[in-house]
């Protein structure tokens, strides 16, 4: 991260992508004000690569549409038009003043403004309320730079008003603190605790998006702040239970050792839970089925021990999946590392066991050993030609598979045919 204490605030330069700069220049040439704004300014200042370049402007939505050949009305009611530059879309939003937020997310009314400050003061946090263009340089009405320098997440204006506008901002405050390693301003943090129950207004899809970003940050253990502020109490009871009892410290330690994968981070979070309870909460979070199933399987099998033999590892690959077994071993390695840290006792035997399983797995995959029916050198069609029919075909293939997994050298069509008599 860039050392902001060395930043000359009077000569800040942000390298705006060519297409975004073309949008700014086109608006300015038409007599309008235009700035890149929000997260792209924050990330540029701290040396991170912005994911998106949002633009705010004094131009009205229809004026924006008239200036650009390809636009999409992504949120025109609230002043947002997406300008397409090649295959990339740039959200261009008119300065606006929001009305009341009856539903806790969308303003009941929007009033367009000609004043940039009006637009900046409705934003969530000071570090996200800065704007920039090459003509005016950095516009920082709410000391976002100061909070970036101090490592603070602070609401713009009154925190309760900002959270009333969108309750998800409470999770976003914790997410930004996790991603940036920042503390949360005392008033902002207190407001989260006071308004925690309003998180129940937010859809689970939006909640899991923020939770996922916290888990995938450099500080996944900051999920504890979701619990400390009571947010989890209202929407994630299984997680809340884990982080409020004796399982908390071991879970947070495990999260810090978990591999850089959503499967492994979620598995670490729910490792101490009953697998069925974890599954139910992951479903409630509206995660995709693959993530739900994979994480649940890791939690369910986290204490599984596989014999240190090739047949046992081949059987495990067959049962759990070619791609899943390495994931399970990575999780078990994280569990070992977390236990070593919390107890101060080296688990040499457990580490060696995982290493042996990983080595056997790699050798089996490299050789291309038979681990599924499709790997057999004989097929259902072959058995039909030999006069076999019905369920017996599947039963025979399954029996052959387990024999071949025990001894891969038997995976030869003539040998398998000769074996049929012994399977009667």
Q: Please tell me whether residues 264 and 204 are part of one structural domain.
A: no
pLDDT digits (tens, 9 = 90+) for 21-52: 999 999 999 999 999 999 999 999 999 999 99
Domain count, the chain: 4
Supply the pLDDT for residue 414.
86
Tell me the C-alpha to C-alpha distance, in Å, between residue 398 and each of 257, 318, 380, 413.
39, 11, 11, 15
DSSP H or E segment with residue 94: strand 88-94
Give tens-digit pLDDT for 143-169.
999 999 999 999 999 999 999 999 999
Please give the pLDDT value at position 29: 96
pLDDT of residue 3: 59
Asked if residue 240 is part of any domain, the answer here is no
Same domain membership, residue 253 and residue 113: no
Is residue 358 located within the same domain as residue 288? yes
**280 and 340: one domain?**
yes
Whether the model clears a pTM of 0.85, i.e. scores above it, the answer is yes
Q: What Rg value do the Cα atoms of the chain yield, rounded?
A: 28
Which has the minimum average pLDDT: 166-170, 298-302, 307-311, 399-403? 399-403
H/E stretch holding 84:
strand 80-85
More confident residue, 276 or 108: 276
Domain final residue, candidates 150, 184, 214: 150
Q: Which domain holds residue 102?
A: 1-150
Residue 196 has pLDDT above 90, yes or no: yes
pLDDT score of 111: 84
In a domain, 20, yes or no: yes
Q: Are 225 and 244 in contact (CB under 8 A)?
A: no
Tell me, what's the pLDDT at 388? Answer: 84
Q: How confident is the model at residue 419 (pLDDT cuts 50, 70, 90)?
A: confident
Q: Establish if 350 belongs to a structural domain.
A: yes
Single out the residue in 150, 182, 210 at which a domain terminates: 150
CATH number where 269 lies: 1.20.58
Domain of 174: which CATH number? 1.10.110.30
Q: Which residue in the block uniquely carries the two structure tokens 């946090």? A: 125
| pLDDT score of 422 | 79
Identify whether 294 is part of a domain. Answer: yes
Does residue 131 share a domain with residue 10?
Answer: yes
Q: What is the pLDDT of residue 377?
A: 86
Residues 119 and 222 in one domain: no
| 125 has pLDDT over 60 | yes
CATH number at residue 97: 3.30.460.10
The per-residue pLDDT for 76 is: 84
pLDDT for 421: 73
Where is pLDDT greater, at 262 or 418?
262
- 162 and 144 within one domain: no
| Token pair recorded at residue 396 | 């025979």
Q: Which of 135, 150, 165 is the last residue of a domain?
A: 150
How is residue 374 written in tokens?
A: 């499709």
Tell me, yes or no, whether 337 and 195 share the same domain: no
- Residue 346 covered by a domain: yes
Average confidence score pLDDT of the chain: 92
- What SS3 class is residue 42? helix
For the chain, helix (H) and strand (E) counts, in that order, are 22, 11
Tokens (6 digits) for 84: 């397409």
Q: What was the pLDDT predicted at 109?
A: 61
Residues 184 and 142 grouped into a single domain: no
Could you report the per-residue pLDDT of 223-262, keeping only the tens digit for each? 999 999 999 999 999 999 999 999 999 999 999 999 999 9
Q: What is the pLDDT of residues 61-110, one digit of tens each?
A: 999 999 999 999 988 888 899 999 999 999 999 998 875 655 555 666 67
Residue 415 structure tokens: 């040998």
Note the pLDDT of residue 413: 87
**Distance, CA of 182 to chain centre:** 19
Going 148 to 153 to 159 to 162, the CA torsion angle's sign is: positive
DSSP bridge partners of 152: 183
Same domain, 104 and 46: yes
> Both 363 and 381 in a single domain?
no
| Position 158 in a domain | yes
Q: Identify the pLDDT of residue 319.
A: 92
pLDDT at 215 over 70: yes
CA atoms within a 13 Å half-sphere pointing along the CA-CB vector of 90: 29
| pLDDT at residue 420 is higher than 80 | yes
The answer as to whether 324 is a domain residue is yes
Q: Is 39 helix (H, G, I), strand (E, B) or coil?
A: helix
Contact predicate 126/156, CB 8 Å: yes
**Residue 139 pLDDT more than 80?**
yes
Could you tell me if residue 272 is inside a domain? Answer: yes
Q: Do 300 and 407 share a domain, yes or no?
A: no
What is the per-residue pLDDT for 149? Answer: 94
Task: Give the model's confidence band at 411: pLDDT under 50 very low, under 70 low, under 90 confident, else very high.
Answer: confident
């Amino acid at each position: 991260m860039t050392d902001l204490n060395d930043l000359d605030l009077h000569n800040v330069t942000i390298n705006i992508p060519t297409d975004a700069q073309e949008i700014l220049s086109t608006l300015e040439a038409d007599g309008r004000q235009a700035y890149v704004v929000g997260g792209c300014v924050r990330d540029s200042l701290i040396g991170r690569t912005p994911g998106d370049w949002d633009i705010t402007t004094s131009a009205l939505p229809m004026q924006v549409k008239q200036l650009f050949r390809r636009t999409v009305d992504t949120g025109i009611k609230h002043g947002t038009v997406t300008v397409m530059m090649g295959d990339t879309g740039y959200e261009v939003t008119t300065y606006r003043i929001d009305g009341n937020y009856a539903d806790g997310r969308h303003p009941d009314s929007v009033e367009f403004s000609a004043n940039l400050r009006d637009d900046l003061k409705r934003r969530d946090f000071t570090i996200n309320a800065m704007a920039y263009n090459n003509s005016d340089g950095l516009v920082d009405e709410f000391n976002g730079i100061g909070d970036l320098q101090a490592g603070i997440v602070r609401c713009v204006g009154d925190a309760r008003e900002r959270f009333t506008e969108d309750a998800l901002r409470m999770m976003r405050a914790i997410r930004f603190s996790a991603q940036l390693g920042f503390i949360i301003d005392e008033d902002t943090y207190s407001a989260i605790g006071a308004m925690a129950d309003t998180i129940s207004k937010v859809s689970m899809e939006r909640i899991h998006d923020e939770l996922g970003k916290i888990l995938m940050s450099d500080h996944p253990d900051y999920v504890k702040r979701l619990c400390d502020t009571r947010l989890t109490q209202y929407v994630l009871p299984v997680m809340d239970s884990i982080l409020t009892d004796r399982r908390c410290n071991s879970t947070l330690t495990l999260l810090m050792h978990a591999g850089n994968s959503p499967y492994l981070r979620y598995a670490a979070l729910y490792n101490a839970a009953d697998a069925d309870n974890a599954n139910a909460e992951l479903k409630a979070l509206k995660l995709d089925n693959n993530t739900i199933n994979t994480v649940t399987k890791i939690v369910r099998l986290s204490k599984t021990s596989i014999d240190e033999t090739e047949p046992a590892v081949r059987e495990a690959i067959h049962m759990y999946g070619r791609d899943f077994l390495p994931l399970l071993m990575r999780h078990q390695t994280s569990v070992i590392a977390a236990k070593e840290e919390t107890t101060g006792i080296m688990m040499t035997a457990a580490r060696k066991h995982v290493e042996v399983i990983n080595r056997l797995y790699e050798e089996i995959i490299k050789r291309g050993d038979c681990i599924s029916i499709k790997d057999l050198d004989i097929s259902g069609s072959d058995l039909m030609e030999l006069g076999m029919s019905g369920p017996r075909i599947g039963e025979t293939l399954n029996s052959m598979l387990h024999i071949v997994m025990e001894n891969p050298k038997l995976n030869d069509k003539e040998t398998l045919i000769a074996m049929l008599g012994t399977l009667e």
